[in-house]
Structure 1
Amino acid sequence: MPIPETLERFIALVEADAHAEAVEAFYAPDAAVHENQSPPRIGRDTAIAREHAIHAKARAMRSHCVRPALVQGDHVAIRWVFEFEWLDGTATRMEEVAWQRWEGERLVAETFFYDPAQRTPR
């Protein structure tokens, strides 16, 4: 279970739009990341590469944790709102819930739950 200060540092990095840095600092090397019911992406390096790829397509990104983050033992639930301004001038607003499992101070599994229709830029 992450201590409260660890979880706050994680959330602060994401809210600072330092997503890759948050993954590097807090994910376990073999972490598994799922989006809805898709197959998992395995490994911290894979997750970091994905974050860099998303940021490369965006002119701007804003991330906001809708409080409170919920902690029960090794499980954490965080409600996020992400706003993207893409290089092509379109925008996307996504709201999702991240369901996380931590082992000590490392995130080992995460599933994002969201409506895929939100991914369509407007």
Structure 2
Amino acid sequence: MPSRERVEAFLKEVVKGSHVKAIADFYHDDATMQENLGVPRRDKEMLMAREQSVLDQLQKMHTHPVQTFLVDGDNVAIRWTFDKTDKDGVVQRLEEVALQQWRGDRIAKEQFFYDTATAWGVVGPDGTVQR
């Protein structure tokens, strides 16, 4: 079961932009990640490689500070907001909830939930998502 402080350390790592390092430092070797109801991705090394591949395609990934997260034993829920800037400078936003199952002080299983119809909406000059 993770301590609240351990979860906060994970959140801090992701918010500062160290996505791959967060996987290395906070996930089990046999961890899984799953998008909505898609097929889970497995193995920490593969998760790190995929994350790096996604980041390499972008100009920038910005993770907003987390306002809401819950810790209940081995279960953690996090409301994330990410802004990605593509190579052409277009900024898009994703709002998602991550449900995690921890084993000890590391993440064993993570599933992301978001609305695919509104995922990665373009962020306008005023900072709002254009629909």
- Mapping for residues 1-80 of structure 1, pairs under 5 Å: 1-80=1-80
Aligned-partner Cα distance in 1 for 2:92–2:2:
31
User: Which residue pairs with 1:101 in the alignment?
Assistant: 101
Aligned-partner Cα distance in 2 for 1:32–1:65:
24
User: Which residue pairs with 1:119 in the alignment?
Assistant: 120
Poorly superposed stretches of 4+, deviation over 4 Å: none
Contact kept, 8 Å, 1:65 with 1:79, in 2: the verdict is no
Matched, 1:110 2:110: yes
TM-score, normalization by structure 1? 0.93
Q: CA deviation at 1:51?
A: 1.1
Q: Which runs of 5+ in 2 are unaligned?
A: 124-131
Q: CA deviation at 1:120?
A: 6.0
* Greater alpha carbon shift after TM alignment, 18-27 vs 58-67: 58-67
Aligned-partner Cα distance in 1 for 2:88–2:81:
21
Cα 1:89–1:113 change in 2 (3 A) is same
Equivalent position SS for 1:84: strand
Contact kept, 8 Å, 1:65 with 1:78, in 2: the verdict is no
TM-score, normalization by structure 2? 0.87
Q: Which runs of 5+ in 1 are unaligned?
A: none
Contact kept, 8 Å, 2:13 with 2:19, in 1: the verdict is yes
Between Structure 1 and Structure 2, the one with more strand by share is 1
Between Structure 1 and Structure 2, the one with more helix by share is 1
Letter in 1 for 2:120: R
Q: Name the larger-Rg structure.
A: 2
Equivalent position SS for 1:17: coil
User: Which residue pairs with 2:129 in the alignment?
Assistant: none
- Quote the RMSD (CA, aligned, Å): 1.4
* Greater alpha carbon shift after TM alignment, 99-108 vs 66-75: 66-75
Contact kept, 8 Å, 1:84 with 1:93, in 2: the verdict is yes
Q: CA deviation at 1:121?
A: 5.6
Alignment: residue pair count: 122
Aligned-partner Cα distance in 1 for 2:23–2:6:
13
Letter in 1 for 2:93: R
Letter in 2 for 1:17: G
